[in-house]
């Protein structure tokens, strides 16, 4: 009886309730992702996917309300005769810039790169910005080849001493690439570096296979995120697909030098709940001897919509790896054989753990509030012989350094749109205000470890270390505001402010040794203790203007102040290759730029920018006068000027009409930057006029990509002119290879991709297929010291399988 009643009830529901499938698009017909769809008659929710598509159960005469920040509310009463087909509804927006940004997004989907809209969520984007779309991007994603990933972002200098994508080192516009420390590096909008101010280096890079896009923000809008000269580098992890309760993606990669990688991800959405989790494992023997490694990365995310306007999202990230360090080489050794290694007892290990919680509240159609809290507990350990590469490893007790990073922060943002419209006037915009509190605790220990050759990260005397033991507390409070004003449909003004309150310090001890000048015996040991604390309040300002000179072309200019606090962790580490100036000061300066960017029809994208950076009290490496040491010190004031050009052209779209194009696409991109840097003031007069270290005056990348049906094939070349590794501009290398010229290099990469109609993708490629012998870095300590050769020719093959379950309930919600 109960079964019969259930069948009758279900049958009655099926007779009346039907699935309505539709697309929400803007005024130009481009689908809008993330629109909230609410059947108010049945209190059922849905949300549009990346193409603007949604599915929802309805009865005749039901009313559906569609809302999205920045768009007018849309009310739908679907007609029964439309149910079997997919219909399109139009959402209007009074903010013309958003509509045009959506048009540009649609037109740029084949270019793998684009511009960010001026307003997105609780963030305002102005000045030079770029978003790298990874869905169709060619390249070695498993090994994270940065030459291919960042190929279309101009002005980036890349350290290529890690052939497995474990750590990315990039610097822009003449800034050092060292562990991307000149960028404010984030994942999904929260910090991932060791200490955002005291030690902004990042030992963690998310898997490229897990990412949706990478955002790079420079100019005044970057003040929302931090004070760094380089701006913001934000890794955006893919969202769970809203139209399925379960999706599985599995990728297997095999490559030369014993590389093997596996990436597995599950994700889905059910009603108000969405989730995802992934794991990446990779291992390899490395290009050089004594450079084997393995790495694990895991990520979990859950999101729940409390109401159709309020959501909460929690994330956890874990990464650990162990890598043997092959050490550096002298210039002669590099010329003889770049794959050789003179160190077999050096190791490097990282254990990274991060958590974050996001709360989002859309207040009406014009206001958005977000609060994010985040924290990290991580360690970094190095072990080995740190002596000059000209010294043989004596096989005695090794030097060990352990860094422990604990930090937590909270950041709140509120964005309000406003406007005034009427006859003869069209003024609208948005203002953003926010605050941030951040607290970090870094400890750095240095002492002796075992004489063995394995990865035994154990101190011999943990309670009385032979080197040093320091604690570095830091606190940071910040307030920031940004306003963007649209005057008519052409003129846009923006202004931003950031006020920083920074407190950092150090407390601990270090040991000094009195050595006999003849037999090198230790005559005495002195333990020195000290405590240091610095407080400062820093106001920073920025502003910009942009003007639409065509339908989809814009001229822009902006100015922003910058600041970078000293790293106390640099001061007390004992390195036999360099000495540290204990009177290091904070770095300061500003950035100005003038640019022109746009899109011609849908076949030509371009962005040209000129920039000027003043870098005060720049910290760098130089020979210490009267000694044989190199010193890390405030060298002086530097000036970086340059021009960046990016353009990409689609030949089929330009010269053939749509009926002749078929499914063919042939694009050619050019990415070029000319950068002139020099020291304009220095305590060492002979440095004035010298070029800033680790700056290639000319960086040039170019490539062609051909697409047909599921095929995608690309060839690209990357060229850097020679660069110096120290402020004295030494051309002749030092005997230990720590300083000297870094020669120019030209590298070519090939990549291919084929997408089957269902489930499978095959990727193949050969990096550095001309087998160029080159290097991009001379290391002063780990993982050197000395020259760190970049990888020679290497190939890879990736097989991807994806399964997506059908959502039979069609009542999913992000």
Tokens of 122: 């609780």
Q: Report the distance separating Cα 811 and Cα 58, nearest Å.
A: 10
Using CB atoms within 10 Å of the CB of residue 481, give its burial: 0 to 12 exposed, 13 to 18 middle, 19+ buried.
middle
List, in sequence order, the alpha helices (H) in 487-539.
none
Residue with the larger pLDDT of the pair 212 and 100: 212
Higher pLDDT, 167 or 266: 266
Of 39-53, 258-272, 736-750, 771-785, the range with the lowest mean pLDDT is 39-53
Closest CA to 317 of 303, 296, 299: 299
Peptide bond into 550 cis (omega under 30): no
Residue 572 pLDDT > 70: no
Among positive and negative, which fits the CA dihedral 92, 97, 99, 102? negative
Q: What is the CA radius of gyration of the chain?
A: 28
Asked if 662 and 653 touch (Cβ cutoff 8 Å), the reply is no
- Give the alpha-carbon dihedral of 186, 189, 191, 197, to 10 degrees: 90
Backbone angles phi, psi at 232, to 5 degrees: -105, 135
Which uninterrupted H or E stretch holds 500? strand 491-515
228-230-235 Cα angle (round to 5): 95
Instruction: Give tens-digit pLDDT for 475-493.
Output: 999 999 999 999 988 899 9
- pLDDT-derived band of residue 641, with 50, 70 and 90 as boundaries? very high
More confident residue, 528 or 814: 528
Residue 9's pLDDT band, with cuts at 50, 70 and 90, is very low
Look at the alpha carbons of 177, 181, 184, 188 in this order and tell me if their dihedral is positive or negative: positive
Global pTM reads 0.89
Does residue 106 surpass a pLDDT of 80?
A: no
Q: How far is the C-alpha of 412 from the C-alpha of 417, rounded, in Å?
A: 17
Instruction: Kindly report, residue by residue over 355-370, the tens digit of the pLDDT.
Output: 999 999 999 878 999 9
CA distances from 212 to 135, 170, 241, 424 (A): 7, 20, 12, 42
List b or e across 182-204, with b for residues whose CB sees 16 or more CB atoms inside 10 angstroms.
bbbbbbbbbbbbbbbbbbbbbbb
pLDDT of residue 406 exceeding 80, the answer is: yes
d(C-alpha 207, C-alpha 276), whole Å: 15
Each residue's pLDDT tens digit, 245-299: 999 999 999 999 999 999 999 999 988 899 999 999 999 999 999 999 999 999 9
> Which pLDDT value is given to residue 505?
85
At 109 the pLDDT is: 59
pLDDT value at 563 more than 60: yes
pLDDT band at 696 (very low <50, low <70, confident <90, very high): very high
Rounded distance, CA 295 to CA 203, Å? 12
CA atoms within 13 A on the CB side of 31: 16
- Residue 162: per-residue pLDDT: 87
Q: What is the pLDDT of residue 40?
A: 82
- Report the SS3 class of residue 672: strand
Angstrom CA distances, 490 to 201, 219, 487, stand at: 40, 20, 7
792: tokens are 């020679």
For 585, left (φ over 0), alpha (ψ -120 to 50), or beta? beta
Residue 783's pLDDT is: 84
- Measured CA angle at 120 (ends 116, 121), to 5 deg: 155
Structure tokens at 482: 């940004």
- Of 154, 153, 150, 131, nearest in space to 139 by CA: 150
**Cβ atoms of 403 and 572 closer than 8 Å:** no
Nearest to 194, CA basis, from 362, 407, 48, 499: 407
Average pLDDT (705-734) is 94
pLDDT of residue 430: 93
Task: Report the pLDDT value the prediction gives residue 729, as an integer from 0 to 100.
Answer: 94
Residue 230 CB contacts under 8 Å (≥ 6 apart), including other chains: 171, 172, 173, 175, 180, 182, 183, 184, 218
Pair of tokens at residue 129 = 């910005």
pLDDT score, position 110: 66
Backbone angles phi, psi at 25, to 5 degrees: -130, 160
Q: Are 68 and 51 in contact (CB under 8 A)?
A: no
Q: Buried (b) or exposed (e) across 494-516, using 16+ Cβ within 10 A?
A: bbbbbebebbbbbebebbeeeee
Mean pLDDT confidence for 453-462: 95
Query: Which stretch of 206-215, 618-627, 744-753 has the lowest confidence by average pLDDT?
Result: 618-627
What the block records as the tokens of 684 is 């060492």
What order of strands is seen across the sheet that includes strand 53-58?
53-58, 18-25, 87-90
Residue (of 521, 488, 785, 486) closest to 629 by Cα position: 785
pLDDT band, residue 15 (cuts 50/70/90): very low
- Tokens 């949706």 correspond to 212
Return the structure tokens found at 49.
Answer: 């996917």
Q: What is the mean predicted confidence (pLDDT) over 762-767?
A: 98
pLDDT reported for residue 100: 46
pLDDT band with cut points at 50, 70 and 90 for residue 811: very low
Q: Categorize the per-residue pLDDT at 568 as very low, low, confident or very high, splitting at 50, 70 and 90.
A: low
Please state, in angstroms and rounded to a whole number, the distance separating the CA atoms of residues 620 and 695: 13
Q: Could you give the CA distance from residue 779 to residue 398 in angstroms, rounded to a whole number?
A: 19
How would residue 622 be classed by pLDDT, with cut points 50, 70 and 90? confident
Output the six-digit token pair for 656: 């053939």
Which pLDDT score is estimated for 74?
Answer: 86
Can you tell me the distance from the alpha carbon of 368 to that of 415, in angstroms, rounded to the nearest whole number?
5
Distance CA 290, CA 378 (A): 25
What was the pLDDT predicted at 517?
Answer: 78
The b/e string for 235-268 (b: 16+ C-beta within 10 A; e otherwise) is bbbbbbbbbbbbbebebebebbbebebebbbbbb
d(CA 415, CA 434): 9
User: What are 412's strand-pairing partners?
Assistant: 371, 435
Average confidence score pLDDT of the chain: 88
User: Which residues, 6 or more positions from 464, have their beta carbon under 8 angstroms from its beta carbon?
Assistant: none
Do the beta carbons of residue 393 and residue 451 sit within 8 Å? no
* Residue of 509 and 660 predicted with greater confidence: 509
Burial class (CB in 10 A: 0-12, 13-18, 19+), 16: exposed
**Separation of alpha carbons 607 and 672, rounded Å:** 11
* Upstream peptide bond of 785 is cis (omega within 30 degrees of 0): yes
CB atoms within 10 A of CB 464: 12
pLDDT for position 473: 92
Cα angle 255, 261, 265; round to 5: 145
Q: Per-residue pLDDT averaged across 711-722, rounded?
A: 97
Q: How far apart are CA 798 and CA 253, in angstroms?
A: 4
């Amino acid at each position: 009886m109960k079964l019969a009643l259930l069948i009758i009830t279900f049958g009655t529901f099926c007779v009346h309730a039907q699935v309505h499938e539709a697309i929400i698009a803007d005024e130009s017909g481009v689908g809008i992702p993330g629109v909230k769809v609410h059947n108010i008659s049945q209190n059922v929710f849905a949300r549009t996917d990346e193409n603007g598509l949604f599915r929802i159960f309805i009865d005749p005469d039901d009313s559906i309300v569609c809302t999205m920040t920045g768009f007018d509310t849309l009310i739908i009463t679907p007609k029964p005769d439309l149910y079997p087909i997919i219909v399109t509804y139009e959402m209007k927006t009074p903010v013309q810039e958003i509509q045009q940004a959506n048009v540009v997004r649609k037109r740029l989907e084949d270019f793998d790169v684009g511009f960010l809209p001026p307003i997105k969520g609780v963030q305002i984007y102005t000045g030079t910005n770029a978003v790298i779309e990874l869905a169709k991007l060619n390249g070695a994603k498993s090994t994270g080849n940065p030459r291919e990933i960042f190929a279309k972002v101009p002005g980036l200098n890349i350290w290529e001493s890690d052939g497995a994508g474990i750590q990315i080192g990039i610097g822009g516009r003449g800034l050092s690439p060292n562990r991307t420390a000149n960028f404010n590096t984030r994942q999904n909008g929260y910090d991932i570096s060791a200490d955002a101010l005291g030690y902004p280096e990042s030992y963690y890079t998310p898997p490229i296979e897990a990412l949706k896009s990478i955002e790079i923000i420079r100019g005044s809008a970057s003040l929302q995120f931090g004070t760094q000269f380089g701006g913001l580098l934000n890794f955006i992890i893919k969202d769970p697909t809203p139209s399925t309760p379960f999706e599985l993606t599995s990728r297997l990669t095999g490559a030369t030098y014993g590389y093997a990688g596996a990436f597995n991800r599950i994700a889905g959405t059910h009603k108000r709940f969405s989730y995802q989790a992934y794991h990446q494992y990779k291992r390899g023997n490395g290009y050089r001897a004594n450079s084997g490694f393995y790495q694990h990365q895991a990520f979990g995310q859950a999101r729940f919509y409390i109401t159709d306007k309020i959501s909460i999202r929690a994330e956890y990230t874990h990464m650990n790896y162990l890598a043997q360090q092959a050490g550096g080489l002298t210039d002669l050794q590099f010329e003889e054989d770049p794959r050789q290694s003179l160190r077999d007892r050096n190791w490097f290990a990282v254990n990274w753990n991060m958590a974050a919680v996001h709360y989002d509240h859309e207040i009406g159609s014009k206001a958005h509030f977000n609060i994010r809290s985040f924290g990290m507990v991580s360690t970094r350990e190095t072990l080995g012989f740190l002596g000059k590469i000209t010294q043989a490893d004596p096989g005695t007790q090794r030097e060990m350094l352990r860094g422990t990073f604990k930090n937590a922060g909270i950041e709140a943002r509120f964005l309000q749109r406003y406007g005034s419209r009427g006859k003869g006037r069209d003024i609208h915009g948005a203002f953003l205000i926010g605050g941030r509190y951040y607290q970090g605790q870094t400890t750095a220990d240095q002492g002796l470890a075992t004489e063995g050759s394995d990865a035994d990260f154990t101190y011999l005397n943990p309670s009385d270390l032979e080197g040093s033991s320091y604690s570095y507390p830091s606190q940071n409070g910040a307030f920031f505001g940004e306003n963007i004003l649209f005057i008519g449909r052409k003129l846009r003004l923006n202004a931003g402010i950031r006020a920083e309150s920074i407190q950092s310090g150090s407390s601990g001890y270090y040991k000094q040794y009195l050595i006999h000048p003849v037999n090198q015996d230790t005559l005495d040991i002195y333990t020195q203790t000290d405590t240091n604390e610095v407080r400062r309040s820093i106001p920073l300002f920025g502003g910009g203007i942009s003007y639409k000179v065509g339908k989809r072309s814009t001229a822009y200019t902006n100015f922003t102040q910058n600041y970078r606090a000293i790293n106390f962790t640099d001061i007390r580490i004992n390195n036999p290759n360099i000495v540290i100036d204990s009177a290091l000061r904070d770095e300061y300066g500003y950035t100005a730029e003038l640019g022109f960017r746009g899109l011609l029809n849908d076949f030509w994208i371009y962005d040209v920018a000129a920039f000027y950076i003043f870098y005060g009290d720049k910290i760098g490496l130089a020979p210490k006068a009267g000694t044989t040491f190199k010193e890390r010190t405030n060298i002086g004031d530097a000036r970086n000027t340059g021009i960046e050009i990016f353009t990409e052209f689609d030949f089929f779209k330009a010269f053939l009409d749509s009926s002749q194009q078929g499914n063919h696409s042939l694009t050619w991109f050019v990415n070029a930057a000319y950068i002139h840097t020099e020291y304009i003031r220095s305590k060492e007069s002979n440095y004035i006029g010298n070029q800033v270290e680790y700056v290639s005056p000319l960086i040039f990348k170019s490539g062609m990509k051909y697409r047909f049906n599921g095929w995608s094939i690309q060839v690209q070349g990357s060229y850097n002119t020679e660069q110096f590794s120290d402020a004295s501009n030494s051309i002749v290398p030092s005997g230990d290879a720590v300083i000297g010229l870094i020669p120019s290099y030209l590298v070519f990469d090939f990549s291919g991709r084929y997408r089957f109609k269902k489930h499978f993708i095959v990727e193949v490629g050969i990096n550095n297929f001309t087998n160029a012998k080159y290097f991009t870095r001379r290391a002063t300590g780990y993982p050197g010291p000395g020259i760190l050769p970049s990888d020679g020719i290497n190939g890879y093959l990736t097989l991807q399988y994806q399964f997506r379950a059908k959502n039979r309930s069609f009542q999913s919600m992000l």
